[in-house]
Amino acid sequence: MVKTVIAKAHTNIALVKYWGKKDAQLMLPQNGSISLTLDHFYTETQVTFDNQLTTDQIYFDDQLLPAAKAARITKFLDLIRQQSGQTAPALVKTANHVPTSAGLASSASGFAALAAAGSRAAGMDLSPKALSRLARRGSGSATRSIFGGFAEWYAGHDDATSFAAPLQDPVDWDIQMIAVVLQATKKPISSTDGMARVVATSPYYAAWVKTAQNDLERMRTAILNKDLTAVGTIAETNAMRMHALNLSADPAFNYFTADTLTAIKTVQNLRAQGINCYYTLDAGPNVKIICASADTAAITAALQQDFAADQLIVAKPGPGITIKEV
């Protein structure tokens, strides 16, 4: 019987970041990570396996993708077929409510939604842990987007032991992020290529893995204590260490733009004035500001001296994945 399933997954922003794989095939990270899932950014994906089709058909925002652009998705569908015993081609329709490839975790929500809708449409009924493991095979950070609130991805040592789990969901204290969307265009180097270059060439990589482990322990405590200052401080330092790795690679690269540095300076100035806010960045130019909702007006007013109001998006802790059959 043909079954159509729709899944909705939200993006997550890593507070302690994973940057580097120890197994590219299985998407096993060099270090664990902790993230916050956000309510504003999400992907909705519909999957139907149908023997009437002759090949996979992948629609992205109502546009049929050519085979070359759909290859990563088709490869992931092949993994679902392999695990489920399903043999039919798939019809996939995805709507992305995230700027793609700009460091706002579009692949995380995208592959989490695809894993959930695809596996259910193929006849599987996976536990959250198993779904997290499957999503990881499409995009490492997707393993965390199965869950709402704060989630931790355990690095593990093989396919069975590398998965995410909720740390705190729902989030019952005042923490949010203001995303400063600077550049909704393709990155100069993909996350996959960037981290591979760093692992292979940075003389500081071993130190990153060691300090990231310490950051994980401190971040768990900060979240448990609902300590915004500690969460922000650890996240900011961890992010800048990650970007320092990129500058230490051979050849060096970075995701910052002049606007990135302007936003960072604004956060630093606000903090000097007594406003409790911190910045983090993923593999892209966009700055995410960690703060309390009470400070939203002051922070956005300062940012609007350099950025348009529609570039500033307030996002609160978001939910885990939802799945429905239609």
> Of 80, 98, 84, 108, whose CA–CA distance to 13 is shortest?
108
Three-state DSSP at 39 gives: strand
Asked whether residue 166 falls in the same domain as residue 184, the answer is: no
Asked whether residue 157 falls in the same domain as residue 210, the answer is: no
The structure tokens listed for 256 are 């910052």
Asked whether residue 131 falls in the same domain as residue 83, the answer is: yes
Asked if the structure places residue 320 within a domain, the reply is no
Task: With cut-offs at 50, 70 and 90, classify the pLDDT of residue 58.
Answer: very high
**The last residue of a domain, from among 151, 170, 189:** 170
Please list the alpha-helical segments (H only) found in the chain: 67-84, 106-121, 128-136, 191-201, 205-224, 228-248, 258-272, 296-303
Tokens 């023997």 belong to 51
| Alpha carbon 220 to its chain's center | 18
- The tens digit of pLDDT for each residue in 137-194 reads 999 999 999 999 999 999 999 999 999 999 999 999 999 999 999 865 677 898 899 9
> What would the DSSP string read from start to end of 250-310?
SS------HHHHHHHHHHHHHHHTT---EEE--SSS-EEEEE-GGGHHHHHHHHTTTS-GG
* Mean model confidence pLDDT for the chain: 95
83 is in which domain, residue-wise? 4-170
Can you say whether residue 266 is alpha, beta or left, with left for phi > 0 and alpha for psi between -120 and 50 degrees? alpha
Asked whether residue 162 falls in the same domain as residue 101, the answer is: yes
Mean pLDDT (whole number) for 101-120: 86
Asked whether residue 121 falls in the same domain as residue 87, the answer is: yes
Asked whether residue 189 falls in the same domain as residue 163, the answer is: no
Asked whether residue 75 falls in the same domain as residue 146, the answer is: yes
**Per-residue pLDDT at 322:** 98
Asked whether residue 86 falls in the same domain as residue 202, the answer is: no
- The tens digit of pLDDT for each residue in 193-225 reads 999 999 999 999 999 999 999 999 999 999 999
Asked whether residue 215 falls in the same domain as residue 126, the answer is: no
Asked whether residue 254 falls in the same domain as residue 107, the answer is: no
pTM over 0.75: yes
State the CATH number of the domain containing residue 155: 3.30.230.10
Alpha-carbon span 210 to 31, nearest angstrom: 9
**Per-residue pLDDT at 101:** 47
The structure tokens listed for 275 are 């406003």
**The last residue of a domain, from among 114, 142, 170:** 170
> Of 84, 88, 76, 6, whose CA–CA distance to 47 is shortest?
6
